[in-house]
Structure formats: structure tokens, C-alpha cells
Structure 1
């Protein structure tokens, strides 16, 4: 089942309401009033909050057309993740991550994000993106707010392989001034996850209006970045708390860098040989020495 908006899901619950059992109606009423909280409750916890059994919660999800409660929970999370403030995220995270289990909870959540990404990402689209990277006259990479680190990571490594990569960022000049020459034959890679940065969306729309090819690295085909892109690479980024989970997006970006690098092995080998000499000459990296060497 695919539900695309909160209005659709809320409307579905309202339509189904008359045919629900007494216990299921209690669940429906709770979700309609508190869907932001319900999205992060297990079936058991939701049942306790409402006063029904866990099995009643599962049957409620089935009644709505979902194969199980996790599917309904995921739909609820999709509805709210772009609307929650950081404070609301922090408050909700207290329900399922505590200080005592933060390490285990976050690592498990990140593992789940990678697993979902591996299942959902379109391999043909990935190959198309790699091909377009090589065909592009110029490559612009933009990712703002929490996605800045991802954009800079991608740009850093692509710059070691290619000589036509430009990072677009918040700075002295406006992003549109940095993209003034974008046009046909260019490739623009936009990176963004909830809460989506408006300037990134606008930059992708601007690029399309100038006939550049646009790639979005984002969390869903329903993302506003995807609506402005020719190619969309999906990476799961369900939040663990007030911090965005960028583990799966970084893995996808790593895969892009490696795929590009595999086609340019000779260039990379020469580049890194030159860099090693420069790094050594200018002592860019620390070299461990034993005590006998330090005299």
C-alpha cells in the first residue's frame, strides 16, 4: 500500500472508522489526534496507551490495508518527519532511545537505514548517474544545512578524479551567483533530507530551467528534491533523534565515488602518486616514529 500524504492516511482512517471494532476505533481516534506520537510507538506501546492488546493494533493496521504494524508505523513517520522541529524530535526520541541504550539504538537504526536503502535503490538509475558524471561539461554539487558535509565529501573525492567539479555552498556570494553559468551539458547533484533546505530545492529548479541534468540524492521519490530531478537516488535517513541519520546517504555517495574511480584507475593512480609526494614534502600527515628515531 502506498499512502502519499497525511491527508490521505487520515482520510482513510476516517472512511474505515464506522467498520472498525470498538478497540480499533480507540486506536483510530488516538492516531487522528496524536499521529506525531504514535509514529514512534511500538505496537505494544500504542496498545498500552490506548488500552487495547498488541494484537488489536496489528489487526487495525491490517484493516487499513497494511501487511503489518511496521508498515503503518513507517507511513506515519513519513508523514511527520519533514514537519517536526528539532525540539519535537528530541522529545519523541525519549520514547525509544535513552541515554543508557543510545549507542545500541542508534547503531541498530543506522543498520536498518542501510538495509532499506540496499533494497530500494534503483541500480539502473545509479548507473545512469555515473554515466552522466562522465558526460557532464561541469558538475555542480549542492547540499545545505546538515547535508553540507555530504556535499563536501562528494566534491572532495570527485575533485581528485575529475577536473570539472564545483561545490556550491552558502558563503559570501549567493548560490545562484555561483551557478550563473549552469546550462545544457552540465550536471547538478543536489543532496537533501528532511527537513529539506528551500535553497537546495530552488537551485535544482533553477538548474532544470537552464536545461542542465539534475540528480537528487534524497530520502524518497516524494521528496521535493526528487520533483526537480531527472534522476533520484534514494537513501533512507530515518532520524534517531534530533540528529539526522546520514549513514545510508554517505554509503550511497561512497558507492558513487568508487564507481567513478573504478573507471579512472590510471588517472587516480597518477593523482595519488603525485599527492603522496606532495603530502610527504609538506608534512601533511603525521608519521609515527619510535623513540629511537626521535633524538
Structure 2
């Protein structure tokens, strides 16, 4: 279940309040008043907090139309992702007993996220995105803040396959000066995760006004970029305290690069044959014998 705005889930809870049992009303009131905390609590912990059973919390989720409590929890997290400050992210995460426990929790979340991406992978959509890339006269790639690292990575490998790849530099004064020549023959790739950058949204609207095609790499269907893009590739970014995890977004980008590469395999082989000659001639890389004493 997806919600169009941050307030939709709360409104649904409020509109159904009169139908709830006494225990469910207690849960509803807690979520309405402290949804930022409820989003990161287990069903058992919410039940303990409002003095109801865990099964009552699960039934509350299904009464709202969710398949189970995890789906309700996910909807709450999506709702607040772009509202949380860094300080709030740190405070909302339960303090681990030790660093090993915390790292184990992080890695398990990453593995789970990657499994979900694999299960939900839409190969046809990925191939269509690759076709847009190969058909574009010029490709502009943009990502702000931590997503800038993803933009650099994608740009590096697309530049191996196609020509005229431009990474929009977030460190210059004006993004629009870098996009001023974009037109209907070009492609704009936006990489954006919560908290969504206003500048990224402005850049997408700028590209759309000039009839450029848009590919969005973002987290969920609730993302503001999902509806705007011609093609949206989804890969969730887990919130790990103050850090935005980029493991699944990187998997999305690698999948896209591979899809483009498979369609241009012969050209890539020729390109790397030429590069190997250049690398060898100018000793770009150390050879095995260089490391021997």
C-alpha cells in the first residue's frame, strides 16, 4: 500500500478510528501522536507501550488494509523519511548493546534489502531504461549529497559504453547553467533518496520543460520522482542511524550498467582493447613483476 502524501496514512487512521476496538484505538492514538517512534518499533514493543497484545497490533495493521505489521511499519518509515533530521535518526535507533550487535543488524538489513530488490526486479523496465540511454544524444546524470557518489559511479561506467555523458557537478554555483542546453534528444538521469533534495526536483522539472527523457533512480513509489520520470528504477535505501545506506541503490545502478553493456557488448570489447594498449604503453598500472623485490 502506498500513500501519496506524508499525511495520508494518518488521515486513514483518523477516518477509521470509530471502527476500532478499544485496544486498536490505543494503538491508533499512539501512532498519530508519535508516528516517528512507532515507525521503528516492533509490533511487540508497540503492544507493550500501549498495554495490548502483539496480535492486537498485527490485527490493527490488517484492519488498515496492510498484509501485516511489517507493511504498516514500512509505510510509516516512508512517510517520515524525508522529514527526519540527522539528530532524529540517531535518537530513533535503539542503542545497541555493543558495536558487533549493531554491525550484525546493519548487515542483515542490507542482505534483506538486496533479496527484496532481486525478488522485485523488473527486467523489462531495466531494459527499457538501457534503451533510453543508448538512444540519447547526450546523457546528464545528477545526484545530490551522498547520491553524488552514485552519480559519479554511474557516469564513469556509462562513459565507457557511450559518448557525451555529463555528470552535473553539485559543487558549482548553478545546476541550471550545466543543464541549459538539454533538449528533447537528451536524457536526464536523477538519483535521489530521502531526504529528497529540492534542487534535484527543480532540475527534473527543468529537464522536463525542455522535453528531455527522465530516468529516476529512487527508493519507492512514494518518492516525488517516481511519477515524474519516464522510467523509475527502485532500490530502497535503509536508514542506518545518521548514514544513508547505498548498498541497494548501488545494486540498481550496477544492474542498469550491465543491461546497457549487454546491448553494446562488441563495442565495449573494442573499447577495452584500445585502453589496454594505452595502459600498457604508458604504464598506467603496475605489473606483477613491479611488486617483486
Whether the TM-score (by the shorter chain) exceeds 0.5 is yes
SS at the partner of 1:229?
coil
Alignment of 1:103-182 (within 5 A): 103-182=103-182
Deviation at 1:99, TM superposition (A): 2.4
Length, aligned pairs only: 293
- The 1:101/1:289 distance shift into structure 2, 3 A limit, reads farther
Give 1:271-290 correspondences, 5 Å limit: 271-289=271-289
Conserved 8 A contact 2:113-2:236: yes
Instruction: State the match for 1:34 in structure 2.
Output: 34
- Matched residues in 2 for 1:95 and 1:64: separation? 30
Cα deviation, residue 189, structure 1: 0.6
Sort the Cα spacing of 1:169 and 1:290 in 2 relative to 1 into closer, same or farther, 3 A. closer
Cα distance in 2 between the residues matched to 1:245 and 1:97:
21
Range moving further from structure 2, 76-85 or 108-117: 108-117
User: What's the TM-score once normalised by structure 1's chain length?
Assistant: 0.92
Matched, 1:194 2:190: no
Which residues of structure 1 form unaligned runs of 5+? Answer: none
Q: Can you give the 5+ residue segments of structure 2 that lack an aligned partner in the other structure?
A: none
State the shift of 1:35 in Å.
0.4
Helix, strand or coil for the counterpart of 1:226? coil
For the aligned residue pairs, the C-alpha RMSD in angstroms reads 2.0
d(CA) in 2 for partners of 1:23, 1:204:
45
Separation in 1, partners of 2:31, 2:110: 26
Distance 1:164 1:98 in 2: 49
Deviation at 1:237, TM superposition (A): 1.3
43-52 or 273-282, which deviates more: 273-282
Q: What is the alpha-carbon distance in structure 2 between the residues aligned to residue 264 and residue 186 of structure 1?
A: 19
Q: Work out whether 1:52 is the aligned partner of 2:52.
A: yes
Displacement, 1:159? 0.7
> Which residue of the partner structure matches residue 74 of structure 1?
74
Q: Is the 8 A contact 1:40 1:96 kept in 2?
A: no
Paired with 1:20 and 1:224, the residues of 2 have a C-alpha distance of: 32
Deviation of residue 143 (structure 1)? 0.8
1:256 corresponds in structure 2 to: 256
CA deviation vs aligned residue, 1:163-182 (integer Å, no higher than 9, x gap): 12111112345211111110
